[in-house]
Chains A and B, each alone.
Chain A
């Protein structure tokens, strides 16, 4: 078994990261792919600028239509009417679907969308399809995202008159590493190299650091540490971060997030207006799709109106003989979505707790995203943070993309003579990473909110006498049992010299670098020996190829505890 250690090498090790190789380094652009809207920003040499499409829009709807032979996205395409997007031919909300298996509740919540989302509840990728000429054309979220990114890239290249190869993308805090690989794949399909992936509030924190730095310059004062809470709630995700900023360095103290957003508010309202809507629309016939679209548009419109007025009258003819005619008040809307708002509060409290920050320590509270216009959201954030005034210096829809563009410029090695790029975000891991050990337990090795880059290790041992192989199953998440976490991958270490159980020391070391690449190193040592018993194995994760939720279950069924591990160091 004396093979050389083999490494599942990364392709990003050889490319990228080579600084100052050319006198004019390419500046990475920032891309914010939202559940409903997308935007691109770039560093124009003195400041961040948002790109506009041919129709002079900064915000572009995130969708792809499969109407013709060639699919087209929302960057250049002009919708004749909102209903066209809801005809079943367009795929949207892909950010909520990407990298999720069909047992995921978020996927189930997407089943009432006009296009087809079918689940079999066996832990495989859901069947997603668009209606083209009365035929369901199957697609994947990666494909949809790639088509969209190609359009974005083409638009940026035309405007900047140079090829675009690298980008900084923002992702939700709650994205698992597996979901991140799906985003990476979509980018690769679109010919984009991902320089950095930033959780959305982290990008905002960088923008905040720049704004604070500028105010310090203007006032000629000394920059004292400022602690800010960033709450970002869009259509698909709700993210919170607490950051400590001083001297242009923003340190993420804690992150928290969940897949709740405007889409959930919308669906709850639709259900409220038409309690049997889900069963009615599940057949996905032409007429049902049409009525679903009508109801969706009317509900969305009503929610928008409820941000400025106390009640709204909804009158919509669904075409199939059913009509919805109802007066909805703001209180009703808040009551229908009470659980969502409670969840928001929980996320904020948890983030403050993790950051060990009291509300009186907060200098600023930054509220962002499409949902930030909802009075209830504003109230609850103000309430928990005990702040009357919210931070005003940022555009709620553009902050994340601006932050991403700043990170793109900083990481590309650009320096600004006025010190506008004298910035840094010190990121933290949004989720814990560990392995399966001690039975069916998840043993975290790198806990949540660890400063990146990070490296931690833990010693494990065998559970049986003469156990020569061990299975390292890597998970990500916060659950105590492995089932509650995301499977990232697994590999086997072989050739452990036969010895009584509990004797070989299996050291599992995890290393995350600044570009968020996770490597797992495993070394085996027998007591008294001076050298590792087998070559050290280094694997880049995730290794799972597709969202195979059944994978862990199958492994467990096949091997049981025969290749299991247990922790050596007992925790206090």
Chain B
């Protein structure tokens, strides 16, 4: 139940436990101004960062609360209350203490827009804010747990052969308006059928992409209305190379996030010292890995 990501041994089998521990210590120093430690630690940090990040993805705050990355405040609230009613120590007994702590932490972060942005940036999630005209249509859903890789159909290349739909009908669907296939449900079929359908594509337009890139790619591949000038222009368009476009957009979003961070820092004065401090602590915590895991580690030791 309350397994902290840093120390989940089953996940990073190749990494010794201690490395992960040191990793979090080093991370903990990084936000502070003391650079000499950072330098000392950097080799370990480098080699274990990937492990840490992979491990962390086991359960994000979103997954913990059982909401989608784009969930609004109301959905998060409802889900949090539902979970609390099941797992709060008043109801489930003392053993659910750790789990409730995590729920509280997740809730606190996701309920505050500035903390949530920081967290999104940290876990590499992009909430697709920019598409006000996207009604969620065309975005694939997930069957089962989230996995690091996702399927994506480059509709620019798709010739509409229906091979993939034939082999894995629960995963792919034909979009009759564009005449292209697209992913409806990630991992909607078993792995073997998916493998076959990917291989069967005559133009190799089905790609395995990182999960974080998926929302951006799926957003970009949708035809967007083109600005028209009188009789010229108009109609629909989409980037010719969706992967390049995604890269550019990601960069743009990152810059946006950074500037957001800067603006949130400048508005700190409006808060009371206690609030600012609480927020500072929370931000710190997000950045430095979940240190609380160490306490569990200690408890196991002694």
Contact = CB atoms under 8 A, between A and B. Distances in A.
Decide whether A and B assemble into one complex: yes
Interface of A: 4-5, 13, 17-19, 196, 225, 246-249, 251, 407, 410-411, 413, 422, 424-426, 432, 444, 447-448, 450-451, 453-459, 478, 505, 507, 509, 513-515, 521, 523, 525, 527-528, 530-532, 535-536, 568-572
A451 B104 contact: yes
Given A514-B89, A515-B89, A455 B77 contact: no
A459 B88 contact: no
B91 to A, nearest CB: 6
Interface in B226-280: 265, 268, 274-278, 280
Contact of A444 (B81, B90, B94, B277): B277
Contacts of B94: 13, 17, 513-515
Nearest to A535: B302
B136 interface: no
A389 B100 CA distance: 37
Interface string B81-104: 110110011110110010011001
B62 interface: no
A453 B96 CA distance: 10
Contacts of B8: none
B208 interface: no
A432 B276 contact: no
B84 A249 contact: yes
B292 A424 contact: no
Interface string B21-48: 1100100110111000100110000000
Interface in B29-76: 29, 31-33, 37, 40-41
A389 B298 CA distance: 54
A424 B90 contact: yes
B10 to A, nearest CB: 21
A514 B90 contact: yes
Given A447-B274, A447-B278, A572-B265, A17 B93 contact: yes
Contacts of A569: 31-32, 280, 284
B166 interface: no
B294 A523 contact: yes
A513 B97 CA distance: 7
A245 to B, nearest CB: 10
Contacts of B291: 457, 507
Given A453-B104, A525-B25, A536-B298, A424 B91 contact: yes
A527 B40 CA distance: 9
Contact of B292 (A451, A455, A459): A455
A571 B277 CA distance: 7
30 contacts: A17-B93, A246-B78, A247-B81, A247-B82, A247-B85, A249-B84, A424-B85, A424-B91, A425-B90, A426-B88, A444-B274, A447-B274, A447-B277, A454-B104, A455-B101, A505-B28, A507-B294, A513-B94, A513-B97, A514-B88, A514-B97, A514-B100, A515-B94, A521-B298, A527-B25, A527-B40, A528-B40, A528-B41, A570-B32, A570-B33
B295 interface: yes
Contacts of B143: none
Given A450-B278, A569-B32, A569-B280, 8 more contacts: A249-B85, A509-B295, A514-B100, A527-B25, A527-B41, A536-B295, A570-B33, A571-B277
Contacts of B90: 196, 407, 410-411, 424-425, 514
B18 A424 contact: no
A535 B302 CA distance: 8
A168 B215 CA distance: 50
Given A523-B298, A527-B29, A457 B280 contact: no
B108 interface: yes
B107 interface: yes
B202 to A, nearest CB: 51
Contacts of B141: none
Contacts of A17: 93-94
Contacts of B97: 453, 513-514
Interface residues of B, number: 46
Contact of A572 (B40, B91, B276, B292): B276
B46 to A, nearest CB: 16
Contacts of A426: 84, 88
B134 interface: no
Nearest to A7: B302
Contacts of B29: 527
Contacts of A570: 32-33
Contacts of B91: 410, 413, 424
B281 interface: yes
B93 A530 contact: no
Contacts of A407: 90
A309 B211 CA distance: 72
Contact of B302 (A5, A249, A530): A5
Nearest to A457: B291
Contact of A225 (B28, B77, B84, B100): B77
Given A424-B91, A514-B89, A459 B28 contact: yes
Contact of B88 (A424, A478, A531): A424
A75 B97 CA distance: 38
B43 to A, nearest CB: 12
A513 B25 contact: no
Nearest to B16: A530
Nearest to B22: A530
Nearest to A410: B90
Given A17-B94, A570-B33, A571-B276, A521 B295 contact: yes
A19 B94 CA distance: 9
A297 B276 CA distance: 49
B71 to A, nearest CB: 16
A458 B281 contact: yes
Contact of B93 (A19, A247, A451, A457): A19
A458 B108 CA distance: 18
B277 to A, nearest CB: 6
Contacts of B21: 530
A448 to B, nearest CB: 7
A413 B90 CA distance: 8
Contacts of A525: 25
Nearest to A445: B281
A568 B84 contact: no
Which 3 A-B residue pairings sit nearest by Cβ, starting from the closest? A514-B89, A249-B81, A536-B298
Contacts of B274: 432, 444, 447-448, 478
A562 to B, nearest CB: 24
Contacts of A248: 85
A35 to B, nearest CB: 27
A17 B22 CA distance: 36
